[in-house]
Structure 1
């Protein structure tokens, strides 16, 4: 697969069906049919979602006889976690500043009374 065609984790988790698939297989490895039974979409559609998750490195496929089992590889989600953390820190800093400002205003108002 060429680098241009490689999908990223953000594309993978953007779709609610793919997020549900991840939630299912985190609990236990599941074969494709078992996963498909949880959705009101065609099995080929579920397979396409799993293909995207595999391309992003979030899911691996383990062959066991004739069955293919999906297993999570959650380390790939670290990129998403890091991205979210930078914004979490930004907003925590902003809320701390707001809290300090409001505390100062309240203190100033109490002194004027």
Structure 2
């Protein structure tokens, strides 16, 4: 369920499709080394209302990551989003790793034929 990959330094960053989460992945082992939870980065209700008033589709999923190596800047955006955001990393103060995993790892239902 990952898309939009970007190398940032020695890490591979990936958007987890359908969430407002980015996974930080060790490029050698493939292990997830951290999560970025971007809930609330886009005020979806007001962006949807603005799009509707302008006769456009409203914003969809987060799906864009860009790295500016010269300026050491990270940008994110989404499908049909009205803006691109520069982000800076800050440690989560009230978000546990367990909660981040629940928010960021999609639950997949597997149905078996009988």
Give me the TM-score of the superposition, normalised by structure 1: 0.26
More strand by share: 2
- Select the structure that is richer in helix: 1
Structure scoring higher RCO (CA < 8 A, sep ≥ 6) equals: 1
If the length of structure 2 is used for normalisation, what is the TM-score? 0.26
- The structure with the larger Rg is 1
